[in-house]
Amino acid sequence: MAYAKRETKSDAAFRQLKADLKDGTLKNAYLFFGAESYLREYYLVELRKSLIDKNFEEFNYHALDGKELTMQALEAALEAMPMMAERTLTVVNDCDLFKLPEEQREKLVSLLEDLPPYCCLVFVYDTLEYKPVRTMKRLCGALDSHVQTVEFQPADNADLVPWVIRRFKALDKEMDRQTAEYLIFLCGGLMTGLVPEIEKIGSYAKGRAVTQKDIDAVADPVLSAEVFKLSDAVLKGNYDAAARLLGDLLKMQTDPIQISAALGKQLRQICTARMAIDSGKDRYWLMELWQPRSDYPVRLWLEAARRTTRSWCAEAVRQCQILDRRLKSERGIDGAGELKLLLVRLGAQRN
Per-residue confidence at 8, pLDDT binned at 50, 70, 90? confident
Mean pLDDT of 159-164: 96
What pLDDT score was predicted for residue 10?
82
Could you tell me which of 45, 59, 49, 55 has the C-alpha nearest to residue 88?
59
Mean predicted lDDT score pLDDT of the chain:
94
What pLDDT score was predicted for residue 5?
61
Asked whether residue 65 carries a pLDDT value surpassing 70, the answer given is yes
Could you tell me which of 258, 285, 254, 256 has the C-alpha nearest to residue 269?
285
Share of the chain above pLDDT 70, in %: 98
pLDDT digits (tens, 9 = 90+) for 111-124: 999 999 999 999 99
What pLDDT score was predicted for residue 4?
55
Provide the residue ranges of all domains of the chain, joining segments of one domain with +: 9-151, 157-218, 223-350
pTM of the model: 0.85
CATH architecture, domain 223-350? Up-down Bundle (1.20)
Asked whether residue 314 carries a pLDDT value surpassing 70, the answer given is yes
Per-residue confidence at 1, pLDDT binned at 50, 70, 90? very low
Cα dist from 139 to 35, 100, 122, 142, 145, whole Å: 24, 11, 16, 5, 10
157-218 belongs to which CATH class? mainly alpha
The C-alpha atoms of residue 46 and residue 65 are separated, in whole angstroms, by 20
Share of the chain above pLDDT 90, in %: 90
Assign 3-state DSSP to the chain and report helix, strand, coil percentages, each to 5.
Answer: 65, 10, 30
Q: List, in order, residues 6 or more apart from 43 with CB less than 8 Å away.
A: 17, 21, 32, 150, 152
What pLDDT score was predicted for residue 347?
85
Cα dist from 78 to 113, 123, 144, 267, whole Å: 13, 13, 19, 52
Phi, psi of 88 (to 5 degrees): -120, 165
Phi, psi of 109 (to 5 degrees): -60, -45
Helix (H) or strand (E) holding 33: strand 29-33
Mean pLDDT of 30-42: 96
Which has the higher per-residue pLDDT, 7 or 1? 7
Beta-bridge mates of residue 90? 62, 121
Asked whether residue 105 carries a pLDDT value surpassing 90, the answer given is yes
pLDDT digits (tens, 9 = 90+) for 186-242: 999 999 999 999 999 999 999 999 999 999 999 999 999 999 999 999 998 898 999
CATH architecture, domain 9-151? 3-Layer(aba) Sandwich (3.40)
Per-residue confidence at 9, pLDDT binned at 50, 70, 90? confident
